[in-house]
């Protein structure tokens, strides 16, 4: 019985230690900021196409949509690191005081981006622009509620 308990404890400690790649809160902040920077760079290029400031290229747009769909899955774990609400961050305290609201918006954003990736891969420019508008609206609402400017 003691051996079983000891083995169970070792497994629990080992999986807990592996669960987060962040040794310090600053690492988590940098990680999530990096993911959001990459999302913004791709999103900005797509917005330039939607606004007609850049030539429309459906293939490039679809690739960027795929990138941001995947990138959107990355930041959440870095908000779950103790102490990552302090330091060099534009994250508002409401992220942690309204965790369900924040993660609800993030989940919706992830769904919107997955939909955008799917729609844009089908090649319909009009449908792609419509899906982009939905994702952009949700992105902006999360910034308003959970990010300092």
SS3 annotation, the chain: CHHHHHHHHHHHHHHHHHHCCCCCHHHHHHHHHHHHHHHHHHHHHHHHHHCCCCCCCHHHHHHHHHHHHHHCCCCHHHHCCCCCCCCCCCECCHHHHCHHHHHHHHHHHHHHHHHHHHHHHCCCHHHHHHHHHHHHHHHHHHHHHHECC
- Tens of pLDDT, residue by residue over 17-74, are 456 789 999 999 999 999 999 999 999 999 999 999 999 999 999 999 999 999 999 9
pLDDT tier, 83 (very low <50, low <70, confident <90, very high otherwise): very high
Determine what percent of the chain is predicted with pLDDT higher than 90.
81
| Distance (Å, whole) CA 4 – CA 56 | 62
Q: What is the pTM of this model?
A: 0.83
Inform me whether the pLDDT recorded for 136 exceeds 80: yes
Cβ proximity of 125 and 58 under 8 Å: yes
Confidence of residue 141 (pLDDT cuts 50, 70, 90): confident
């Amino acid at each position: 019985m003691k051996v079983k308990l000891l083995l169970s404890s070792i497994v629990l400690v080992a999986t807990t230690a592996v669960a987060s790649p962040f040794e310090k809160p600053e690492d988590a902040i940098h990680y999530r900021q990096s993911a959001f920077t990459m999302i913004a760079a791709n999103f900005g290029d797509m917005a330039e196409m939607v606004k007609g400031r850049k030539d429309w290229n459906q293939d490039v747009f679809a690739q960027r949509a795929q990138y941001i769909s995947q990138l959107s899955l990355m930041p959440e774990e870095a908000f779950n690191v103790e102490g990552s609400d302090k330091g060099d961050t534009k994250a508002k305290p409401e992220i942690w005081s309204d965790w369900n609201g924040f993660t609800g918006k993030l989940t919706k954003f992830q769904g919107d981006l997955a939909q955008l990736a799917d729609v844009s891969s089908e090649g319909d420019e009009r449908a792609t622009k419509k899906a982009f508008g939905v994702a952009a609206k949700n992105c902006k609402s999360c910034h308003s509620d959970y990010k300092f400017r």
